Chain A
Amino acid sequence: MSEIALEAVGLVRRIEGAISHTLVNGIDLAVDKGEFVAITGPSGSGKSSLLYLLGLLDAPSEGEVIICGQPTSKLSENERAKVRLTRCGFVFQFHFLLPEFTSLDNVLLPMRAAGRLSEREMRERGLELLASLGLKDHANKRPNQLSGGQRQRVAIARALSNRPEIIVADEPTGALDTTSTEQVFAILREIADQGRTVVVVTHDPALAARADRRMHIVDGKVHQTLAGRGQAELEAAAPTET
């Protein structure tokens, strides 16, 4: 079988407090390299919480996230930051670009933070990325000079800049119009087809249907898993089966 890029084992995320709350309640998941997984579910079901765990933005209360074979639960905060910087790109619903910087500078930021390429190489790669996402003419514009769709594409370019194995996106099209939604989804699909692993949270069943697999989450648990691109067939899913 194909190589597993992202794996979650018995993932639990609890909020301890006066009223304790379980956001993610025992999720197992294994995503192959180059696979495109869509996560759906009602609002408040724990989709974002799961994604933060998968993207190492948050640490689980129990369980383990394994990225490209590397368990992450014992990593220090700085080591987790390094994994986020180089192996796992995150795209949010809101673009979260730095407002004072141009598109290109925003895309360059993770590369500069990683410091692995020369100034010239970084620029070339940044411009290439922007061009590949249809933003050739917008490299020197600031976020407030761009449309919502354009901003989100800059954010995707930024997530891709250090060539991460995995892209995680939390409702990346949630705030976009139909045309932009279509573009962004096509881009994500293409990213997966190029061999990267993509996990996307979406509300849109039509979009979810274009994923290789979709996972429906209710109350922090996997409710069902649906397989196949564009196929509507439903499979009852045992959470451990994947």
Chain B
Amino acid sequence: MASNLLLDIAWTHVTTRVRQTLVGMAGVAMGVGFTIMMAGLMQGSQIDFLRQLVDTMPHVTVQDERRTAPPQPADQEYGAVQMSNVANVNARPGIRYPESVMASLRSWIPGDVAPSVKTTAIIDHGGRIGVTLVGIDPRQEIKVSKLASQMREGQITDLSRAPNAIIIGQALAEKLAVKPGNTVALIGGEGTEISSTVAGIFRSGLKRVDEGQIYALIGTAQVMMGQNGIINELRLRLNDPLSAENIASEVEGQTGYKSVSWEEANSDLLSSFAVRDFIVLTVMGAMLLTSSFATYNIISTITNEKRQDIAIMKSLGMRESSVRRIFIIEAAIIGVVGILFGWIMGYLLCYSWSQITIYNTLTGTTVPISIYYSPMHYIVAGGISLLSCTGAAFFPARKATRVHPVEIIRGAS
């Protein structure tokens, strides 16, 4: 009953000040609208990027290392002495019995696994560039990576067509000015030099892969390493990329080999995302706060104009808290209507952005700007906005309703 009265009074105050009220609502609407737009754009691009990352990278990589290096003989002899430069044998140990490890992994992981040989090489075609050489089995590779769909020229199976064939990234191909069919020299760590044919060109969208990674058959990579029969990396692709961390630690527990999830491999990137998120969230919060300044202004004005009414309501016997609530309700009315318009505006802004297509330098395609639509954006932006509006109203309302009615009544008589 009484709150109905407060609502009536509040409604009267805001509806008799149409222009001011609209300005306040517009402020709130813009804050909410732009916040939703920013959130959609930011999360859209981030999700897009992660999707690309997850598509390109193996979800889990099992390496021929242990997390803690096996104890050196010198350590056992002189436990207290730190031995930092004791050379390991130069050969990579490789994964023992890779076929049976893979068979056992296949029995339980939700996904697939493929063998590979990872080494470094120098590619020579006029200029020399150091690259990571990944030896793969084309038939198994298609089950664990998107390389097949990333091919711009040629196919993965072309690796078997020519002796020592390689597939190289588009960025690297441009750097070296090579085309499929060209011959380049490959120099391995042991000094092995072979002549190799470019069988295809891929584009993953990740710069460091496109510039610095090439693919060959497993046998070719083993020759470059000078280690026949070695498999030093198992690559896993999971049905759910988000399970990579859990699965990696299970695999590591089971096999004893260091297993790196894509999240761990990109932890620096992901933590820079976290920093970016924090910055953007701060900006959005500030935007919502700023958008409630108009509301603060309006409530200040109304409480000033209504000093006499406030005194009268208090003198008639309305509680100070009730009178104060009138102005909080006014801010809430402005806030709620503003938020509704902000939601519409935010949606329209997101929609307009999604109509814009841009040339994506990563993928080399023209794609629409990706927007992530989430009800959470609307709820959070609306919630923060409503809080900051009513919060902004609280202080002028408290100040105005604290005044002793006698002071005002004396002044007016």
Contacts and interface: CB of A to CB of B under 8 A. Distances in A.
B4 interface: yes
Contact of B316 (A113, A170, A171): A113
Nearest to A171: B413
A99 B306 CA distance: 10
Interface residues of A, number: 30
B409 A110 contact: no
Q: Which of B9, B315, B322, B412 has the most CB of A within 10 A?
A: B315
B308 interface: yes
Interface of B: 1-2, 4-5, 9, 12-13, 16, 308-309, 311-320, 322, 404-406, 409-410, 412-413
Nearest to A95: B312
A113 B318 contact: yes
A213 interface: no
A94 B412 contact: yes
A90 B318 CA distance: 13
B14 to A, nearest CB: 11
B2 A96 contact: no
Contacts of B16: 100
Contact of A93 (B4, B322, B404, B413): B413
User: Would you list the 9 A-B pairs with minimal beta carbon distance, nearest first?
Assistant: A85-B317, A84-B317, A115-B1, A112-B5, A96-B312, A100-B12, A81-B317, A113-B318, A115-B2
16 contacts: A52-B409, A58-B406, A84-B317, A90-B315, A90-B316, A92-B413, A94-B413, A96-B308, A98-B9, A98-B309, A99-B309, A100-B16, A112-B1, A112-B2, A112-B4, A158-B316
Interface of A: 48, 52, 57-58, 77-78, 81-86, 90, 92-94, 96, 98-101, 109-110, 112-115, 158, 170-171
Contacts of B312: 96, 98
A179 B406 CA distance: 29
Nearest to B410: A48
A113 B410 contact: no
A78 to B, nearest CB: 5
B210 to A, nearest CB: 69
A84 B317 CA distance: 5
Nearest to B315: A57
A56 to B, nearest CB: 9
A158 B5 CA distance: 15
